[in-house]
Structure 1
Amino acid sequence: MKGRVRQPTGRYAGKTASERGAERRERFLGAALELFGAGPGYRATTVAALCEAAGLSTRQFYEEFRTLEDVLAALHLLVNDWAEAAVTEALAGSAGQPAAERYAAVFRAYAASVTSDPRRIRITFTEIVGISPRMDEQRLSRRARWIELIRAEAEAARARGEAADRDYSLAAAAFIGSVNGLLHDWAAGWVDASLDELVEELVGLLLASLRRPGG
Structure 2
Amino acid sequence: MEGRLRQSTGRYAGKSAAERHAERRERFLEAALDLFGGGPGYRSTTVAALCEAAGLSTRQFYEEFRTLEDVLAALHLYVNDVAEAAVINALARTEHLSFADRYGAVFRAYAASVTTDPRRIRIAFTEIVGVSPRMDEQRLARRAQWVDLLCAEAAAAVVRGEAADRDYRIAAVAFIGSVNGLLHDWAMGWVDASSDEVVEELVRLLLALLRPAC
Q: Distance in 2 between matches of 1:89 and 1:209?
A: 21
When the two structures are superposed, what TM-score results if normalisation uses the length of structure 1? 0.93
State the 1:191 CA deviation.
Answer: 2.6
Write the distance in 1 (CA, Å) between the matches of 2:178 and 2:131: 22
Q: What residue number does 1:78 align with?
A: 78
Mapped partners of 1:179, 1:96: distance in 2: 26
Aligned to 1:149: 149
Which sits farther off after the overlay, 179-188 or 108-117?
A: 179-188
Q: Write out per-residue CA displacement over residues 156-209 of structure 1, whole angstroms, 9 at most, x where no aligned residue.
A: 111122211110000001011111122222223333333333333222212222
- Is 1:87–1:109's contact at 8 Å kept on the other side of the alignment? yes
Aligned to 2:102: 102
**Equivalent pair of 1:104/1:199 in contact (CA under 8 Å):** no
Q: Which deviates more, 29-38 or 196-205?
A: 196-205
Q: What CA distance in whole angstroms lies between the structure 2 residues aligned with 1:123 and 1:171?
A: 25
In the TM superposition, what is the alpha-carbon distance from 1:4 to its structure 2 partner?
4.1
Following the alignment from structure 2 to structure 1, what is the Cα–Cα distance between the partners of residues 58 and 75? 18
Which residue of the partner structure matches residue 132 of structure 1? 132
Distance 2:7 2:130 in 1: 32
Q: Deviations over 1:58-81 (max 9, x none)?
A: 110011111111111011111111
Describe how 1:1-215 pairs up with structure 2 within 5 A: 4-211=4-211, 215=214
Which residue identity does 1:127 align to in structure 2?
Answer: E
Provide closer, same or farther for how the CA distance between residues 212 and 27 of structure 1 changes in structure 2, counting only shifts above 3 A.
closer
Q: Alignment RMSD, CA only?
A: 1.6
CA distance in 1, matches of 2:190, 2:40: 21
Q: Please, which runs of 5 or more residues in structure 1 have no aligned partner?
A: none
**TM-score calculated relative to the size of structure 2:** 0.93
Aligned length: 212
CA distances 1:131-171 after superposition (whole Å, capped 9, x unpaired): 11111111011111111111111111111222111100000
Q: Secondary structure at the match of 1:39?
A: coil
Matched-pair identity in %: 79
CA distance in 1, matches of 2:59, 2:5: 7
**Helix, strand or coil for the counterpart of 1:14?**
coil
Aligned partners of 1:98, 1:153: CA distance in 2, in Å? Answer: 15
Check whether the contact 1:100–1:203 (CA below 8 A) recurs between aligned residues.
no
One-letter amino acid matched to 2:169: S
CA distance in 2, matches of 1:5, 1:140: 28
Amino acid at match of 2:158: R
Question: Aligned partners of 1:41 and 1:198: how far apart in 2?
Answer: 24
CA contact (8 A) 1:5 1:59 kept: no
Amino acid at match of 1:18: A
- 1:190 match: secondary structure: coil
**Is residue 108–residue 196 contact of structure 1 (8 Å, CA) maintained in 2?**
no
